[in-house]
A and B are shown apart, each in its own frame.
Chain A
């Protein structure tokens, strides 16, 4: 009904405009009405895109639970639900102001807290813009829950998710994106290209994940004393795949929506986004096939995400051909990165550090290399500076945050709780009460003699869970 009134109103404006101009309407005489239509289209596109990006929370939830054990499924759902819920409140109160408020120094904004830029009856653009930005902040926050899955104390995670949305994400965001609203950061003044946030969103989440996994230590039973790696199987690969499809869909809001304007640019951004994801999945599959002899599903799923993360920064400033190259390289990088982090005993159950941290950095660099308007050492230098600035801001602050949580309320659950599963110990429930779930050694349905033997190694870890044996 409301829609009818609005469109009726629009038609009315058009007509009155036409009459005023002696019944021969021209583009010029109708300028006001045309501008209004454009403004309304911008609102609609920005908010539809925001809804698509919001749905990525579901994608992350499915990917993360698919790649982890059934005994922690409720915990993953709660983390994904609450980092969005509490993150929204934190971003409303403080984060948005820090990121997009007036910035005299170029280091952080100082106005617009509690959405104070909106006055009832005033211009509602700040609301549409806030809605689009809050789902981005939540994306950065939720990346971390996968890397820290299956061993993090719930209350510790809640505190982290408030702090990243309130402080860590907005401060870096203000350096690169503040000028999209009232701010203006030092990085964007240098010409830093990060259209939709390979660095601003994904690397921030990725490096925070790295800090979190380092403070937490690996899951019990993952790394054996004799140096072998025991994979801990995810309980539902179809759910993980569904999550990747949802994320791919959501990215059509994430990248093309970052125009925050309904214009023709979104077509190329759409195509680039899709092609990079396609190339990422394909090359990750081929890399896995060559390396392991089989087209590994987990790696292929990560490859699609790697391509998406990489194209996020350059999506508006490279050709479709470049997008394919960028995604393809990301697909190779992500497989090697997952293997690398496993080898140095950083336990990241879903590959968040590789997908979001490493491929976010690659995508940001690629925006300089493949820039449609030509590249130069200066452009690439600024991209590298942005990548480094992100790491140097996020990693230390997140590490400190997790350490503080660890020494005060504790970041990791007890070994007994970890073995029992967080669903029961943290949330008092079971995700799949109608199914029998194997807890032995945490190896899911393939729980084997080997993993039970592995339990003896775990016994020693019971005393000092964070120790990397």
Chain B
């Protein structure tokens, strides 16, 4: 099992969700997050004074899937979230040791 963490532009969330649904992924967790990468945020103006917004709002999608699906999921997310512009985000793939479905107590791949 692997966990895929994708940090994307917030307005791309629906596209990414649809793309994942299309390849049969029917569960995910979404968080509103903030952060920056090489772009180092951006500048805004408030009442005439310029300020640096270092932490840009992003959405983080967490999906846990069977290891055989990882490439397909990564591909679906990266093509759906891609705009070609700076700040499109990043995808991380992590190993998952165990999963438990709380209602039934099922474990491992049956629980995801």
**Chain A residues near B (Cβ < 8 Å):** 229-231, 233-234, 288, 291-294, 296, 298-299, 335, 338-339, 342, 351, 443, 445-450
Contacts and interface: CB of A to CB of B under 8 A. Distances in A.
B46 A233 contact: yes
Interface stretch (B49-57, B58-66, B75-83, B93-101): B49-57
Contact of B48 (A233, A342, A443, A448): A342
Contacts of A448: 41, 52-55
Nearest to A237: B46
A105 B92 CA distance: 81
A339 B47 CA distance: 8
A446 B53 contact: yes
B54 A292 contact: no
B71 interface: no
B51 A230 contact: yes
A213 to B, nearest CB: 15
Given A291-B48, A335-B48, A445-B57, 14 more contacts: A230-B49, A231-B46, A231-B47, A288-B48, A292-B48, A338-B48, A342-B48, A446-B44, A446-B53, A448-B54, A448-B55, A449-B36, A450-B51, A450-B54
B45 interface: yes
Interface string B24-43: 00000000000010000100
A32 B29 CA distance: 79
Interface of B: 36, 41, 44-55, 57
Contacts of A292: 45, 48, 50
A446 B41 CA distance: 10
Nearest to B40: A449
Nearest to A443: B51
Contacts of A233: 46
A16 B19 CA distance: 85
A298 B52 contact: no
A294 B57 CA distance: 21
B47 A351 contact: yes
Nearest to B35: A449
A449 B49 contact: no
Nearest to A233: B46
A447 B36 CA distance: 12
A294 B45 contact: yes
Contacts of B50: 292
Nearest to B36: A449
